[in-house]
Every structure is written in structure tokens, then in C-alpha cells.
Structure 1
Amino acid sequence: MIDQNTKTVIEACAQKSHDGLITFPEVLGQLVGVGVQSYFVDYRLAFTTYYLNSNEAYQIPTEMPTLPVRSPFKKEEMISAIRRAQGDQVRYPEFLRLTMLAGCVGYMVWITGKHVTYFGAQGETHIEHFPGQ
């Protein structure tokens, strides 16, 4: 059973991200602190599922921009959005918009594996290793 503190930290990270108040490294630090091993952001269903070290999962609704995900997957635009986020030139709300416009339908953050896999609607992928990895 996932304890209330873990749920509270996950929900607070998600809200702060969507408000543009926290960076990706800050999110990772807080999630690791409560035992999150990975998480999946599904743009089409507007949910994020967090997977814990205990083999439990916790799913919450995710605010998404009100624009359609475009196809095909535009890898160069994805990489540009990622670099802008890494450089703190954009925060999460704008990152979501940019990646959706690039044809992304969701992504999986592998915290323990230190990379993110981004997905296109036709099975395309882009793997982005954490900076310094």
C-alpha cells in the first residue's frame, strides 16, 4: 500500500511541474526520495503513472495542452525541446506543448536507468540520456 506521504510528494511534484515552478532535476530528486523508480506520461490519456521500488504503481491525471498531437514524429524538434528544457529556457508547460507539436504521444522516465524514452504515434522513439550520463 502506497503511503500518503509518497502520494503527497508525487502530486506536489506534478503540480509544481505543471505550474512551471520546478525543474526536471528537482523533480527527480524528490521522486527518488519517496522510492519512485520510473514514470510514464501518456499525452493521449492525460495520465501519469509512477512506478515505485515496491512494485506498486500510482496514477494521477495530468494536465495537457489543448492541442492535438501531430504526426509524424519530428526527432529534431523533440531534441530542440529537450535541450531548451535542459537549459531551463522552457519549463514543463511549454515543454509539453513543444513535444506534442513534434509528434510525441508520451514518454517514459527511467530514473534508475538514467534516461527518457519519447514515443511517437507510429512507434517512433527517441532515447535521451540524462545529462552527464
Structure 2
Amino acid sequence: MTPFREAAERCTLGSDEERLSFPAVLARLAAVGVERYHADLQRAEKTYYLANGQSEVIPTLAMAEQAAAAFDAASIEAAVRASQSGAIKYKEFCLRILKAGCVAYLVSLAGRRAVYYGRTGETHIELFPN
């Protein structure tokens, strides 16, 4: 197993088991050269990408909740803030953004942002805090 694959698997499992914080995940991924990752909440998988185009797809825990039809950026922002403050953990975060109509999100380590999007392409962008 490559260090890239191992880091992707460990970060996915650590998030799903709520053992790793978002900053810890970012640090581990950056250490092996991950440029970005895509979390598909509907398919229950994350795809991690290196700058050279290499990728790894890792299964995640499936959520019982389906994404709401309507996209609510304010509720997604509220879930992000609750996660950042430690008020909620990863599973609750995912549940809240699903209820806010988010079907997937893209995290760009290089761009220092996360892009959340809904069924019809609506987006909410969160820049990483300094």
C-alpha cells in the first residue's frame, strides 16, 4: 500500500469514527501531497487527488439521511461554524449539511477552501480560517 493510499484510508476512517479533527486530516493529507478531495455524501465515498492526477477512492460510512431538495447555504454555514467550535462532530456535521441540501463537497488544500454543493449546482464556499 502506498503512503498516499494509507493516508487516505486513515483519514477517512478517522473522520468516520470521529477520532480526527478537520485540521488533523488536512495536516496528514498535506504530508503525503494530497491537493484536494471530494466527499460524495450520496455515494458514501471520498476521492483523494494528488497534483499529478493520481487518485484514490475510499468508501465512507453511509448516511441514512438523504439530501434535502432545497439548498440552504445559511444552514451549511451554521454547521461549519458548529463544527469549528467543537459543538458538533463529523457525523452530526454531515447530517446537518445533508438536511441543508448538500449532496457533496470538495476540499482544496491548495486553495484553502471547501465548496459545498446541492442537487442543482448551488454552492456555498468556506475559506479555511487562518
Bin for the TM-score computed over the shorter chain: over 0.9
* Farther-moved stretch of structure 1 (117-126 vs 86-95): 86-95
Whether 1:84 and 2:82 are equivalent positions in the alignment is: yes
Per the TM alignment, residue 47 of structure 1 is displaced from its structure 2 partner at its CA by 1.3
Task: Name the counterpart of 2:96.
Answer: 98
- Unpaired segments ≥5 residues, structure 2: none
Task: Name the counterpart of 1:67.
Answer: 65
Per the TM alignment, residue 32 of structure 1 is displaced from its structure 2 partner at its CA by 0.3
Out of 23, 35, 38, the position equivalent to 2:33 is 35
Once the two structures are superposed, the pairs formed by residues 18-57 of structure 1 within 5 Å of their partners are 18-57=16-55
The count of residues paired between Structure 1 and Structure 2 equals: 130
Secondary structure at 2:42's aligned position in 1? Answer: coil
Task: Name the counterpart of 2:109.
Answer: 111
Distance 2:96 2:84 in 1: 14
The amino acid across from 1:76 in the alignment is A
Distance 1:88 1:112 in 2: 24
Identity, in percent, stands at 35
- Unpaired segments ≥5 residues, structure 1: none
Structure 1 length as normaliser, TM-score? Answer: 0.93
Structure 2 length as normaliser, TM-score? Answer: 0.95
Per the TM alignment, residue 67 of structure 1 is displaced from its structure 2 partner at its CA by 1.2
Aligned CA RMSD, in angstroms, stands at 1.0
Distance 2:98 2:54 in 1: 28
Alpha-carbon contact 1:73-1:124 (below 8 Å) kept: yes
Per the TM alignment, residue 5 of structure 1 is displaced from its structure 2 partner at its CA by 2.1
